[in-house]
Amino acid sequence: MFSRALKPVASVAAQNGAKNFSTTSQKNFKVAVAGAAGGIGQPLALLLKQNPLVTRLALYDLAPVTPGVAVDLSHMDTPAKVTGHKGPEELAEAIKGADLVVIPAGVPRKPGMTRDDLFNTNASIVRDLAKCVAQNSPKAIMAIITNPVNSMVPIASEVLKKAGCYDPNRILGVTTLDVVRAAAFIGEINGVDPRSVSIPVIGGHSGVTIIPVLSQSQPAVKLTSQDQIKALTGRIQEAGTEVVKAKAGGGSATLSMAFAGARLAGAVLRGLKGESNVVECAYIKSDITESPYFANPVVLGKNGVEKNLGFGTLNAYEKELLKAAIPELLKNIKVGEEFVKNSK
């Protein structure tokens, strides 16, 4: 059901038999990564540099190392041209003309922190980046990784509304990591290649708002009791905390998040290119539940979100999970919207 990520190009030259790259059937897409020098940003940029649909890769960050990251990546023998942009004065140039802006910028979680603890710092970052997108590339698709995603997507939406260029189909919260984790865990349980697992994860991107629809897993999850289902659900919901604890103060989920972000970015670009039936889960403006933003499978096309596929039939347990998620989502969304309303 869900589109797989484009496979990394281990050696384009080896695949083509020469250093000649064929671009006749490709579109020219510029992707900007805001927060490109960070723990997610660098591996994300590495993966995007390997994507044949990316012809220009603009890396932006406050960190002085950012131009060096660009130079480092530019030595890879893949066609995308990489530019590095550091500091607020170079942000506009990074964003200008972008087809897709991927935002992992912000502070990461540390032990004992919830995603809500990150709000004040990260909200300002996303607000300012959204303003820059509105001014320099208002038609760009924004894929927001910055936590808490449940609040950041409403913030970007309200900023673009103020700027008069809001298109709900072009602002996505990246919840792909929840899908990736669910597939990885189910693959382990079932003893199968996790890439063969199709599993929708709906709701939002924190704690109880993460709802893995295990009843719709293909292949079916090989669990025999409801207690096992609850345990797997809880593990998926708290998988980020599992990483934070395992890194013992050394960071949060960066590598798996970069992988998931690159997967969604690749799907967005395939949709922009005109490929049909590109499906991923994403957190978007929605009217299918009481929550005005909600994650579930969507079709991606030439204008971003082409169709909201909803979430099908839930079993009794999943309905209870949804019931618990909605109040939390509503709270998260209100916090984001109020932040923009009270901003100068």
Residue 114 is predicted with a pLDDT of: 67
* Tally of CA atoms within 13 A in the half-sphere of 206 that contains its CB: 25
178 has catalytic annotation = yes
Cα separations in angstroms, 65 against 71, 84, 156, 204: 10, 9, 27, 33
What does the pLDDT read at residue 159?
A: 98
Candidate list 61, 85, 99, 205, residue with the active-site label: 205
Residue tagged 């998040």 (tokens) = 257
User: For residue 24, what pLDDT is reported?
Assistant: 40
pLDDT at residue 226, as a whole number: 97
Q: What is residue 249's predicted lDDT score, i.e. its pLDDT?
A: 83
Question: What SS3 state is found at 306?
Answer: strand
Per-residue pLDDT of the chain (344 residues; tens, 9 = 90+): 444 443 333 333 333 333 333 334 457 899 999 999 999 999 999 999 999 999 999 999 999 999 999 999 999 999 999 999 999 999 999 999 999 999 999 987 666 666 667 788 899 999 999 999 999 999 999 999 999 999 999 999 999 999 999 999 999 999 999 999 999 999 999 999 999 999 999 999 999 999 999 999 999 999 999 999 999 999 999 999 999 999 998 888 999 999 999 999 999 999 999 999 999 999 999 999 999 999 999 999 999 999 999 999 999 999 999 999 999 999 999 999 999 999 87
For the domain covering 27-174, report its CATH number.
Answer: 3.40.50.720
> What residues does each domain of the chain span?
27-174, 176-333
Bridge partners (DSSP) of residue 56 are: 30, 81
Distances (CA, A) of 6 to 34, 41, 120, 298: 21, 18, 35, 18
Total-model pTM: 0.91
| CATH number among 3.40.50.2300, 2.60.120.260, 3.90.110.10, 3.30.420.10, domain 176-333 | 3.90.110.10
Domains 27-174 and 176-333 share a fold: no
